[in-house]
């Protein structure tokens, strides 16, 4: 059922074949999929290449990794696949770029305001979000929801109800955008760098360095925009 991966596509080819196994319901919700060694042998690839593909699918909510048990198809796998496919079909080339551009206008200023207003309790919440994200990445349980939480907490700290509503209103679009990034052209190194940037923004907000927090958030989103542009 699994074919050797094409050398020019490697992890992307692995991802597409795994998605097809789920889409065709050869692997159903709750099913345990083959381990890395078995998949690597079937794809004629190294375990590292297979591991990167599996991580992307875990991060997109299509697979879930359970410590000591293996990797399983999530209950929402088909819905997540269909949502991302629908988004890909319906969007024009610039829609996701425009979404990130709107965030570039708004979120650096939210970080600036958060650095001025943050209480110790709020900083504790933001610190916990950063730690959850880093732990999830290391444990291979990172999800789109966890990644979104960091940005939402910063918006909450800024205490602007209208901008908070804006962040909440684009939540679904952000998740779709992120899922497509992870499945197409964001590498594990890109994700690790992004999480490091989250910690940098947190530390600047924690130290009430408003100007630096704004600049760090701007650079963080600009990097995401460059990655997205490469894939379109």
| pLDDT tens figures, 36-74 | 999 999 988 888 889 888 988 887 888 999 988 999 999
Closest CA to 20 of 38, 42, 3, 41: 3
Give 114 or 229, the one with higher predicted confidence.
Answer: 114
As a whole number, mean pLDDT of residues 108-136 equals 95
**pLDDT over 80 at 8, yes or no:** no
Q: Which pLDDT score, from 0 to 100, does residue 202 have?
A: 97
Q: What residue spans of the chain are helical by DSSP H?
A: 11-23, 36-43, 47-59, 77-90, 95-117, 120-138, 144-158, 161-169, 171-184, 188-206, 210-231
Nearest of 67, 57, 55 to residue 20 by alpha carbon: 57
Q: Is the pLDDT of residue 110 over 70?
A: yes
Measure the CA dihedral 204/210/212/213, to 10°.
60
pTM score, whole prediction: 0.65
List, for residues 148-160, the tens digit of each pLDDT value. 899 999 999 999 8
Report the top-level CATH class of 11-79. Answer: mainly alpha
Token pair 């381990």: residue: 35
Residue 102 pLDDT more than 80?
A: yes
Position 53 scores a pLDDT of: 87
Separation between Cα atoms, residue 5 and residue 2, nearest integer Å: 9
Q: How confident is the model at residue 226 (pLDDT cuts 50, 70, 90)?
A: confident
Pairwise CA distance, residues 75 & 31, whole Å: 10
What is the pLDDT confidence band of residue 3, given thresholds at 50, 70 and 90?
low
If pLDDT is split at 50, 70 and 90, which confidence band does 104 have?
Answer: very high
Q: 91-231: what fold?
A: 1.20.120
CB 35 within 8 A of CB 47: no
Question: Which residue spans of the chain are classified as CATH 1.10.10.10?
Answer: 11-79
What's the pLDDT at 145?
Answer: 76
Nearest CA to 17 out of 56, 65, 48, 75 is that of 56
Listed in order, the ranges of the chain carrying CATH 1.20.120.530 are 91-231
Distance between CA atoms of 192 and 164, rounded to whole angstroms? 26
Q: Output the CA torsion sign for 219, 225, 228, 229.
A: negative
User: How far is it between the farthest Cα atoms of the chain?
Assistant: 57
- How high does pLDDT run on average in the chain? 84
> How far apart, in whole angstroms, are the C-alpha atoms of residue 109 and residue 164?
13
Q: What is the per-residue pLDDT for 185? A: 56
Query: 77-90 vs 171-184: helix axis angle to the nearest 10?
Result: 90
Listed range (14-23, 55-64, 98-107, 165-174) with the worst mean pLDDT:
165-174
- CA distance readout (Å), 80 to 146, 169, 199, 221: 16, 19, 28, 24
pLDDT at 118: 97
Summarised one tens digit per residue, pLDDT across range 166-221 is 888 877 777 666 666 666 556 667 778 888 999 999 999 999 999 999 999 999 99
Average pLDDT value for residue range 91-117: 85
């Amino acid at each position: 059922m699994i074919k050797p991966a094409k050398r020019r596509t490697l992890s992307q080819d692995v991802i597409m074949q795994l998605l097809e196994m789920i889409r065709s319901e050869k692997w159903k919700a709750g099913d345990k999929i083959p381990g890395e060694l078995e998949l690597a042998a079937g794809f004629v690839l190294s375990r590292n290449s297979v591991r990167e593909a599996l991580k992307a699918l875990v991060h997109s909510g299509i697979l879930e990794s359970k410590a000591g048990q293996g990797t399983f198809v999530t209950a929402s796998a088909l819905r997540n696949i269909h949502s991302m496919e629908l988004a890909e079909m319906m969007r024009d080339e610039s829609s996701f770029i425009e979404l990130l551009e709107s965030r570039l206008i708004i979120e650096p200023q939210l970080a600036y305001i958060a650095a001025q207003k943050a209480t110790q309790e709020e900083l504790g919440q933001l610190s916990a979000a950063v730690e959850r994200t880093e732990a999830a990445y290391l444990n291979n349980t990172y999800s789109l929801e966890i990644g979104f939480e960091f940005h939402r907490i910063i918006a909450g700290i800024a205490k602007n109800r209208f901008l908070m509503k804006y962040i909440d209103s684009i939540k679904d679009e952000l998740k779709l955008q992120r899922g497509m990034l992870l499945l197409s052209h964001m590498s594990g190194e890109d994700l690790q760098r992004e999480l490091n940037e989250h910690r940098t923004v947190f530390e600047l907000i924690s130290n009430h360095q408003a100007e630096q927090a704004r600049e760090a958030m701007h650079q963080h989103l600009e990097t995401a925009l460059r990655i997205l542009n490469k894939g379109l």
